[in-house]
Amino acid sequence: MTDTTTARSANLHRLANPGRFLRFADRIYPWCFGTMLLALTAGLVGALALSPADYQQGQSVRIMYVHVPAAWMALFVYLNLALASASLLIWRHPLAGVAAQASAPIGAAFTFLALATGSLWGKPMWGTWWVWDARLTSVLILFFLYLGYMALSNAFENEERGRRAGAVLALVGVVNLPIIKFSVDWWNTLHQPASVSRIGTPAIHSSMLWPLLVMALAFTLFYVVVLILRMRSELLAARLRALGRLAVEGR
Amino acid sequence: MSGYLAMGGYALYVWGSYALTALVLGLLFFGARQGLKRRERELDSLRALAPHRRQRAGSKKGEST
Amino acid sequence: MSPWFALVARDLQLAWRQRGDLFLAVSFFLLVAALFPFALGPEPNLLLRIGPGVVWVAALLALLLSLERLFALEQEDGSLDLLLLSPLPAEALVLAKATAHWLTTGLPLVLAAPLVGLLYTLPPGGYLVLLASLLLGTPALSLFGATGAALCLGARRGGVLLPLLVLPLAVPVLIFGTAAVDATLAGLPARPHLLLLGALLLIALPVAAVAGGAGLRQAAE
């Protein structure tokens, strides 16, 4: 990297310095954690008590308040993973790689939850645990993309190489996601001519919308909280490895 | 109350979804915190072995909860 | 001869020197395709319905087999570092390897596919579309595979890792490839599916070049 690019992007990543990041993370962590607990409590009360039952789906509509935010998070975390991967490859932020790698298991967990709660919702609505519905199938492939990223980024002796290879894969995945979505929709219309009812209604009443949005906020903050924990843990691991090397060299 | 818990016959699916979400997110959170704590302890024990390096690696300060 | 063609030609020569290996992928392809009737029963209607899908899944698995070793030889004898120092960019290197992989593995599979069609009682009208879909689809698979192989260079458990990376990316190819043959069998035009397969191939070319090139440079660092 040349000095000019370093200087130009210096103000872009003040947080790229691990020490600075740790101080920033320590400062926002309690706020994120507290707001998350508040949002989670409010969201759960809204989802389980205050919101009405659906006139068609009855009480089973309450699954929506975990299913839909989890599905949103599955995509949102992948987007973050891709953005962090891009900044790792373009500006060579070491922290961006750590952020991408720390995001992947969280995103995979949300994707798994979207699939599992979708299945739990589908059983009473469709009569089976799994339907090869276009949306569920796309989310399933997203789950495999997460697993691929995690497997690749952990498959190297050299952590940095793993993160960089994973970053390339994450970006290939972002290019392919719309294609996969399109192809799965196409495949779905070929094989199941619009007989399957879709989860989620386009127009949603405000008494159902606010718990949904509050739960989505709680999930987003949960992501930030766990991301901070995982990134700090990874930075400590890097320091431990460095100290281990020093100890070996000093001997 | 029992009528509410029955969720109009969907109890298994509704409570199952919330329980599974709580379980997965709980594992994720406590797993991450456990890992961080373990590494903090490891680093502390290493520092105790080499006290002269304590000042140089100074940015480790925060609590995790 | 330009260095790019020289590279492809060298790979073809190496493959020709071990031409027994060429039949390995084809044998695997035929064997996998022959397994399904044992599991599902020999009923002709059923076989005809699953036939196009079986050809595609078997071709995908057979292509994956040889991908792991795509760059391994170059990395072991150190010639990968030399190739990356040469004026030929890493992107062109990936495309050359993917081309050689397709010519040595993909093309034999395409040529063997009518045999599977026979096993699955494919009517005469289906063969042309089956071949066309494979001709358009398998190069895209080779390209995605070469990308994955470049990224996995030097990884632990490379053999299990590679399919995990490549298979999700192969889903659209599988969908449109199978749909093209199914459409013909149902008396519908296969053209839109074939066009979409062609579009996938056009997208796979730059993606494989850029991503695979980045992977190769990382492996050499």
Rounded to a whole number of angstroms, the distance from the CA of A190 to the nearest CA of chain B is 30
Cβ of B20 and A121 within 8 Å? no
User: Is residue A202, in this structure, part of any structural domain at all?
Assistant: no
Helix axes C191-220 and C158-185, enclosed angle (nearest 10)? 170
Q: Are the C-beta atoms of C153 and C221 separated by less than 8 Å?
A: no
* Range among A2-11, A16-25, C158-167 rated most confident: C158-167
What residues pair up with A58 in beta bridges, in sequence order? Answer: A54
Higher pLDDT, C147 or A61: C147
- Interface subset of A 33-92, CB within 8 angstroms of C: 89
| Chain C residues lying within 8 Å of A165, measured CB to CB | 151-152, 155, 215, 218
* Phi and psi at residue A207, to the nearest 5°: -65, -20
How would residue A8 be classed by pLDDT, with cut points 50, 70 and 90?
very low
Say if residue A12's pLDDT is above 50.
no
- Chain B residues closer than 8 Å to A63 by CB: 13-14, 17
Crossing angle (nearest 10°) for helices C19-40 and C107-119: 30
Residue B13: name the closest of A135, C23, A116 by CA: A116
Structure-model confidence comparison of residues A198 and A58, the more confident one: A58
Q: What is the mean pLDDT of the segment spanning A215-225?
A: 95
pLDDT tens track for A169-179: 999 999 888 88
Nearest to A175 by CA among A151, A145, A152, A147: A145
Count structural domains, chain A.
1
Q: Name chain B contacts of A124, Cβ cutoff 8 Å.
A: 10, 13
Q: Under an 8 A CB cutoff, do A120 and B17 touch? A: yes
Amino acid making up residue C159: G
ipTM: 0.89
Tokens read off for C129: 């579309």
Domain that holds residue A233: 16-194+207-246
Q: What is the DSSP letter of A58?
A: B
Q: What is the pLDDT of residue B1?
A: 65
Task: Sketch the domain layout of chain B as residue ranges.
Answer: 22-51
Tell me, yes or no, whether A10 lies in a domain.
no
Q: How far apart are CA B11 and CA B13, in angstroms?
A: 6
* Cβ-defined contact of C211 to A179 (cutoff 8 Å): no
Structural domain includes residue A7: no
Pick from C118, C125, C112, C110: nearest CA to C44:
C118
Residue A1 covered by a domain: no
How far does Cα C38 stand from its chain's mean position? 26
In 3-state terms, what secondary structure has residue C186? Answer: coil
Query: Could you give the angle at the alpha carbon of C146 between the alpha carbons of C104 and C77, nearest 5°?
Result: 80
pLDDT, average across residues A158-179: 91
Q: What is the C-alpha separation between B53 and B55, in angstroms, rounded?
A: 6
CB proximity C205 to A under 8 Å: no
For residue C179, pLDDT over 50 is answered with yes
* pLDDT tens figures, C23-44: 888 999 999 999 998 998 888 8
Distance of CA C67 to the CA centre of its chain: 9
What confidence tens digit (pLDDT) does each residue in A131-146 have? 787 888 889 999 999 9
Asked if residue A29 belongs to a domain, the reply is: yes
**pLDDT one-digit tens code per residue, B14-62:** 888 999 999 999 999 999 999 999 999 988 888 787 665 544 444 444 4
Over range C131-149, report the average pLDDT. Answer: 94
Please report whether residue A9 resides in a domain: no
Q: Which residues contact C163 (CB under 8 A, 6 or more apart)?
A: C64
